[in-house]
Amino acid sequence: QVQLVESGGGSVQAGGSLRLSCAASGDTYSRACMGWFRQAPGKEREGVATINPGSGIAYYTDSVKGRFTISLDNAKNTVYLQMNSLSPEDTAMYYCAARPKRLSEYGGRCSAGSDYNYWGQGTQVTVSS
């Protein structure tokens, strides 16, 4: 079992920054891929960024490249999402997720499909113009 607890959401003006945190616990095999997803009202859930703790390789969806950074503090079992240059289009509920790695992902990046096994409760990010 894996438990994920997000924090760090809030309200910010366009151009501002926020850092989301996801404290993870449970067996490391089940959280060998970690990711951040978001869902805005009326929209489908979207994979924002993933990180492979083993390889350190990250993935970003196109709309956040150059603005968001995913990172991992192994000592704290915490995954972060640093979000800079925020825009109203980034407004959404953000979720941390985890799952085991697929064989094809060893040494590579974790995909951002929504087939993650474990999910946090979500943290709201609201960006005003």
For tokens 């951040």, name the residue. 36
Per-residue pLDDT tens digits of the chain, which is 129 residues long: 899 999 999 999 999 999 999 999 998 888 899 999 999 999 999 999 999 988 889 999 999 999 999 999 989 999 999 999 999 999 999 999 999 998 888 888 999 988 999 999 999 999 999
- Radius of gyration over alpha carbons of the chain, in Å? 14
| Number of Cα atoms under 13 Å in the Cβ half of residue 75 | 0
The single-letter code of the amino acid at 40 is A
| Number of Cα atoms under 13 Å in the Cβ half of residue 44 | 4
Task: Report how far apart, in Å, the C-alpha atoms of 103 and of each of 19, 33, 82, 100 are.
Answer: 31, 12, 28, 10
pLDDT at 106: 85
For tokens 């929504």, name the residue. 114
pLDDT at 10: 97
